C-alpha cells in the first residue's frame, strides 16, 4: 500500500507510524506482520492493550461466536447479557478472592474516560476541587486527565489553563526528600498556600514517566496519609494492571486498597476499547445519567474481557508474568553492563525500561529505530524520551522473549555508546 494515502489524508497528529514506518496487515501472539511479509516481535503490545497477545485464540473464539449469534453490540447502559456475565465473573473471579469490594462503572471506551469519571466522582464526594498528582505521571489526554499529566509537550496542546491540580515530586526524583512528609506539611501548614485535595492520583508504576516502580512502603504510607486527612486515594491501573506487574492489580503488592481505581487497555481482552472506574460502595453517590457515554455499552469488549479473565485464571498468567519477568531482569542485568556500564534498567514483572539518560539526547530514539530495523517494535518513555520501554505480551514464548531481548542488545551494541 502506498503511504501517500496516509500522508495526504490523515492528520499530522499521527505518531507511531512515523516511528514504525511500515503497513501492518496481520498480528498473532507476539508477532506483527507487514504487507511485505516481514515479521516483527512486538515489545510495544498496543501500549499495553494486548497483554494476552494479538488475536488470542481463546478470547477470539468467544467474540466470534457471540457475533455469529447476533449478540447485541451496542447497548448504552441497558441491561445486557454480556455485561451481566462480565460483572458476575469479574466480581466473583477477581475482586472478591482478593478481598476487594467495589462498585463498577462503565464510563466510556478509553482510559481517559475512566480518569475523568474518577475525578468527577472524587470532587462530588468530597466537595473539594483540588487534586494531588505526582510529577512524571500520565493519566490521559482530555482536559481533566491532562491536568493531572505532567508531560509538557502534551499539556501545551490543550490551549487552556490546566488547573485544580497540585503536582508533588515523585519519590524517586529527590531521594533526600520524603514526599509523604512533604504532603503532610502541605496539608497541615496554614501557610502552604495549597488547597486540600479531593484525591491523590497515583500510578503504582509510572510507565510513561520512565518505568519507575513506586516502593511498596511509599504506597502504604500514601494510603495512611489519605486516611488521616480524609483524602481519596485513586490508583491508575490503565497500563500496569491486568497482570503486567506480576499481579492482576499493580497496587496488590503493597497490600493496600484504593478508594477509587481505573482500568482500560488490556481489560478489553484483545485490544477492544473498554474502560472501568471502580470505587468503594459508599462513594457511589451518582445520580442516574450524571456521567455517561454513548459507547459505554460496547458488548463485544465485555465478551472479550470476560474471556480474558477466564484465560488469565486458567493459565495462571500472574505466575507466568513473574517467571518471564525474572528472565527479562536477569538478561538485562547480565548483558547491559557488557555494552556500557552507564546503561541503567529498572522494572517489575513484564514492564522494564532501559535508561539512556547518561547519553546524548536522542540515544533511546536511535536504539528504538535500530530495533525496528532488526524486526522488533519497541516504544520510548520518560523525560526526553530517554527510556526504551520493554512491554511484550505476557503470553510470549520464552524463546521469542529471549530473541527479542537479543535484538535489543544487538541494536544498542551497534550504536557504539561512549
User: Would you place residue 312 in the very low, low, confident or very high pLDDT band (cuts 50, 70, 90)?
Assistant: very high
Do 71 and 154 fall into the same domain?
yes
Do 244 and 300 fall into the same domain?
yes
Task: Read off the pLDDT of residues 39-70 as tens digits, 9 standing for 90 and up.
Answer: 999 999 999 999 999 999 999 999 999 999 99
Query: Pick from 258, 290, 314: which residue ends a domain?
Result: 314
Do 348 and 253 fall into the same domain?
no
Q: How many domains does the chain have?
A: 2
CATH code of residue 235: 3.40.640.10
* Grid cell in block for residue 281: 460502595
Rg of the chain in Å (alpha carbons) = 21
Examine residue 108 and state whether it is found in any structural domain, yes or no. Answer: yes
**pLDDT at residue 339 is higher than 90:** yes
Do 193 and 330 fall into the same domain?
no
Give the pLDDT of residue 3: 87
Q: Average pLDDT for residues 401-412, to the nearest whole number?
A: 98
Return the HEC string of 311-346. HHHHCCHHHHHHHHHHHHHHHHHHHHHHHCCCCEEE
CB 335 within 8 A of CB 413: no
Q: What is the percentage of the chain residues whose pLDDT exceeds 70? A: 100
Burial letters 130-168, b for 16+ CB under 10 A, else e: bbbbbebbbbbbbbbbbbbbbeeeeeeeeeeeeebbbbb
**pLDDT at residue 97 is higher than 90:** yes
Q: What is the pTM of this model?
A: 0.96
Do 209 and 275 fall into the same domain?
yes
Do 237 and 104 fall into the same domain?
yes
Give the pLDDT of residue 195: 97
CB 365 within 8 A of CB 380: yes
Give the pLDDT of residue 58: 98
Do 328 and 296 fall into the same domain?
no
Q: Residue 99 belongs to what domain range?
A: 59-314
Give the pLDDT of residue 1: 81
CA angle 322, 327, 330 (to 5 degrees): 120
CA torsion 374-389-339-361 (nearest 10°) is: 100
Q: For the purposes of burial, counting CB atoms within 10 Å of the CB of 231, is it exposed (0-12), middle (13-18) or buried (19 or more)?
A: buried
Do 242 and 106 fall into the same domain?
yes
Q: In whole angstroms, give the CA distance from residue 95 to residue 100.
A: 5
Task: Read off the pLDDT of residues 196-218 as tens digits, 9 standing for 90 and up.
Answer: 999 999 999 999 999 999 999 99
* Grid cell in block for residue 265: 487497555
**pLDDT at residue 2 is higher than 90:** no
Do 235 and 279 fall into the same domain?
yes
Examine residue 224 and state whether it is found in any structural domain, yes or no. Answer: yes
Q: Length of the chain, please?
A: 418
Do 179 and 122 fall into the same domain?
yes
Do 224 and 245 fall into the same domain?
yes
CB 234 within 8 A of CB 265: no
Amino acid at each position: 500500500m502506498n503511504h501517500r494515502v496516509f500522508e495526504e489524508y490523515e492528520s499530522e497528529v499521527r505518531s507511531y507510524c512515523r516511528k514504525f514506518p511500515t503497513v501492518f496487515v496481520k498480528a498473532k501472539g507476539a508477532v506483527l506482520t507487514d504487507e511485505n511479509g516481514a515479521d516483527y516481535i512486538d515489545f510495544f503490545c498496543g501500549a499495553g492493550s494486548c497483554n494476552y497477545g494479538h488475536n488470542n485464540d481463546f478470547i477470539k473464539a468467544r467474540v466470534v461466536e457471540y457475533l455469529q449469534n447476533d449478540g447485541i453490540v451496542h447497548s448504552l447502559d441497558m441491561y445486557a447479557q454480556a455485561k451481566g456475565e462480565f460483572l458476575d465473573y469479574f466480581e466473583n473471579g477477581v475482586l472478591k478472592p482478593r478481598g476487594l469490594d467495589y462498585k463498577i462503572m462503565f464510563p466510556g471506551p478509553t482510559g481517559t474516560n475512566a480518569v475523568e469519571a474518577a475525578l468527577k466522582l472524587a470532587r462530588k464526594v468530597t466537595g473539594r476541587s483540588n487534586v494531588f498528582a505526582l510529577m512524571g505521571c500520565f493519566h490521559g489526554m482530555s482536559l481533566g486527565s491532562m491536568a493531572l499529566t505532567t508531560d509538557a509537550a502534551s499539556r501545551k496542546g490543550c490551549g487552556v489553563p490546566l488547573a485544580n491540580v497540585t503536582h508533588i515530586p515523585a519519590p524517586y526524583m529527590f531521594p533526600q526528600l520524603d514526599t509523604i512528609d512533604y504532603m503532610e506539611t502541605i496539608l497541615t501548614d496554614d501557610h502552604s498556600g495549597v488547597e486540600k485535595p479531593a484525591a491523590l492520583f497515583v500510578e503504582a508504576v509510572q510507565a510513561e514517566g520512565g518505568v519507575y516502580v513506586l516502593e511498596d512502603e511509599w504506597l502504604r504510607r500514601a494510603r495512611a496519609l489519605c486516611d488521616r486527612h480524609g483524602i481519596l486515594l485513586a490508583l491508575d491501573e490503565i497500563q500496569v494492571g491486568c497482570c503486567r506487574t506480576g499481579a492482576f492489580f499493580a497496587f496488590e503488592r503493597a497490600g493496600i486498597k484504593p478508594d477509587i481505581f481505573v482500568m482500560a487497555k488490556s481489560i478489553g481482552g484483545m485490544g477492544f476499547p473498554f474502560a472501568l472506574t471502580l470505587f468503594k460502595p459508599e462513594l457511589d453517590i451518582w445520580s442516574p445519567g450524571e456521567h455517561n457515554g454513548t459507547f459505554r455499552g460496547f458488548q463485544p469488549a465485555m465478551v472479550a474481557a470476560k474471556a480474558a479473565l477466564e484465560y488469565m485464571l486458567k493459565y495462571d498468567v500472574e505466575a507466568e508474568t513473574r517467571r518471564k519477568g525474572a528472565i527479562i531482569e536477569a538478561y538485562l542485568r547480565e548483558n547491559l553492563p557488557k555494552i556500557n556500564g552507564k546503561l541503567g534498567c529498572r522494572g517489575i514483572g513484564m514492564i522494564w525500561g532501559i535508561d539512556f539518560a547518561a547519553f546524548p539526547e536522542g540515544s533511546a530514539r536511535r536504539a528504538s529505530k535500530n530495533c525496528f530495523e532488526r524486526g522488533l517494535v519497541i516504544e520510548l518513555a520518560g523525560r526526553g524520551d530517554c527510556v526504551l520501554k520493554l512491554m511484550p505480551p505476557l503470553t510470549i514464548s520464552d524463546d521469542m522473549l529471549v530473541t527479542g531481548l537479543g535484538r535489543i542488545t544487538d541494536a544498542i551494541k551497534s550504536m557504539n555508546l561512549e
